[in-house]
């Protein structure tokens, strides 16, 4: 039996992926009989994980702004759509924008995680894209496992000018200088990729592919008459998504479900809109999933054998995911400035008419399910 401390990346923005994966991993570790603690911020992504010991972690303020200003400025910027037009070139940009590389926050968060380590005494610290956790584990001499991906590697893209705060902290603790904040991912003993080699090829002996972390009981249906659309917090606004997707498919033979934060529930013929739909129930009967290329959305589509039409906008990770889907033949990409009803319908018709897209999506989905998910990580924990 091992003691594992899980540390998700904290952010004021809605980035549910990190905390969702921590929740899934915590459940698998607890089921296997391990003791689990979570050091996490009570941000917008937080919820209680039953059965775990919980330690506090501060919430970073975007751009390292004063708390009183940042707490109000960022939500307003999101509502006005400012965050949707910002080009994000690397994961280092994300860490900077969310405040995770601000020296003051690094200093505070590393101390908080070190206190959790000293009290809980874990055998393993697992960082879900949290650089403070990796730094704290190194300072405390603890084994460190991490989640990893191609787009979050410094080799894929980085912004070294944002490493000043981290290097100041490292220097104060007698640790070596890094060129990029993303270099700290290289300190990990094992790197778990919640994907497969076909989608994210990485040549690194530390890498373990584990596919989807979801416990999926996929029951595919011969009845395929639905199209789903979801754009998250992407370049395409909810209002634009609703308007263009509605115009593309209104009166068609497909039942179309459009989900997005802020949408009002409505049913107009074959077009259904709501803030949320349980896509896990709809995807087995879908012929197409239109989305922003987020990791969770992409994976959900593939494990259900649904080809994808991705509009990644200006976000580096989503652009990578879109290119992977195109290169593997599991879907198509649409540029954000071409997101019109005419282009959407044209690409949708092409994907649906060519059965090779659905076949490739199904093949990749099976691969993601075969890699073991959380159980694979649990085995590596020993």
Look at phi and psi of residue 322 and say left if phi exceeds 0, alpha if psi is from -120 to 50, else beta.
alpha
CA distance 9 to 4: 16
**99-121 pLDDT per residue, tens:** 999 999 999 999 999 999 999 99
Domain boundaries, the chain: 3-188, 226-370
Chain centroid to Cα 331, Å, comes to 19
pTM > 0.85 = yes
Mean pLDDT of 138-164: 96
Closest alpha carbon to 210 in 25, 5, 368 = 368
Q: pLDDT by residue (tens digit) across 28-67?
A: 999 999 999 999 999 888 889 999 999 999 999 986 666 5
pLDDT exceeds cutoff 90 at 376: yes
Cα angle 171-175-178, degrees, rounded to a multiple of 5: 80
Element (H, E) at 130: none
Where does the pLDDT of residue 219 fall: very low under 50, low under 70, confident under 90, or very high at 90 and above?
A: low
Same fold, 3-188 and 226-370: yes
| pLDDT tens digits for range 221-246 | 678 999 999 998 778 999 999 999 99
316-341: per-residue pLDDT in tens? 999 999 999 999 999 999 999 999 99
CA angle 205, 208, 212 (to 5 degrees): 155
45, 181, 242, 264, 335 from 347: Cα distances, Å: 34, 39, 17, 27, 12
CATH code assigned to 3-188: 3.40.50.2000
The CATH-assigned architecture of domain 226-370 is: 3-Layer(aba) Sandwich (3.40)
Q: How far is CA 189 from CA 141, 169, 184, in A?
A: 12, 22, 11
DSSP sequence for 321-350: HHHHHHHTTSEEE--GGG-SHHHHHHHHHH
- CA neighbor of 98 nearest in space, from 132, 54, 126: 132
């Amino acid at each position: 039996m091992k003691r594992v401390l899980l540390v998700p990346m904290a952010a004021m923005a809605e980035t549910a992926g990190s905390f969702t994966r921590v929740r899934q991993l915590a459940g698998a570790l607890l089921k296997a009989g391990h003791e689990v603690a979570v050091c996490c911020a009570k941000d917008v992504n937080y919820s209680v994980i039953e059965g775990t010991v919980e330690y506090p972690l501060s919430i970073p303020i975007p751009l390292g702004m004063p708390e009183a200003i940042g707490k109000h400025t960022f939500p307003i910027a999101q509502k006005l759509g400012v965050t949707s037009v910002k080009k994000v070139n690397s994961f280092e940009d994300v860490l900077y924008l969310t405040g995770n590389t601000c020296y003051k926050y690094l200093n505070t968060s590393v101390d908080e995680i070190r206190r959790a380590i000293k009290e809980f005494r874990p055998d393993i610290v697992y960082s879900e894209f949290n650089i403070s956790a990796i730094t704290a584990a190194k300072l405390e001499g603890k084994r460190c496992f991490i989640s990893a991906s191609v787009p979050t590697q410094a080799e894929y893209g980085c912004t070294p000018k944002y490493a000043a705060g981290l290097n100041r902290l490292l220097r104060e603790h007698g640790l070596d200088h890094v060129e990029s904040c993303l270099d700290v991912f290289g300190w990990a003993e094992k790197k778990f990729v919640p994907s497969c080699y076909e989608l994210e090829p990485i040549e690194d002996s530390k890498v373990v592919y584990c596919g989807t972390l979801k416990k999926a009981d996929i029951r595919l249906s011969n009845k395929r008459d639905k199209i789903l659309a979801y754009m998250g917090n992407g370049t395409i606004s909810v209002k634009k998504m609703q308007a263009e997707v509605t115009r593309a498919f209104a009166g068609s033979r497909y039942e179309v479900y459009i989900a997005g934060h802020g949408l009002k529930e409505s049913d107009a013929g074959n077009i259904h809109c709501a803030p949320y739909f349980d896509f896990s129930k709809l995807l087995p009967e879908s012929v197409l999933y239109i989305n922003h290329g987020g990791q969770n959305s992409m994976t959900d589509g593939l494990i259900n054998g649904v080809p994808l039409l991705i509009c990644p906008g200006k976000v580096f990770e989503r652009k990578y995911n879109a290119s992977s889907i195109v290169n593997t033949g599991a879907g198509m990409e649409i540029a954000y400035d071409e997101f019109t009803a005419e282009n959407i319908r044209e690409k949708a018709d092409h994907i649906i008419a060519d059965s090779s897209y659905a076949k490739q999506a199904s093949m990749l989905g099976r691969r993601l399910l075969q890699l073991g998910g959380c159980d694979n990580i649990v085995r590596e924990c020993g």
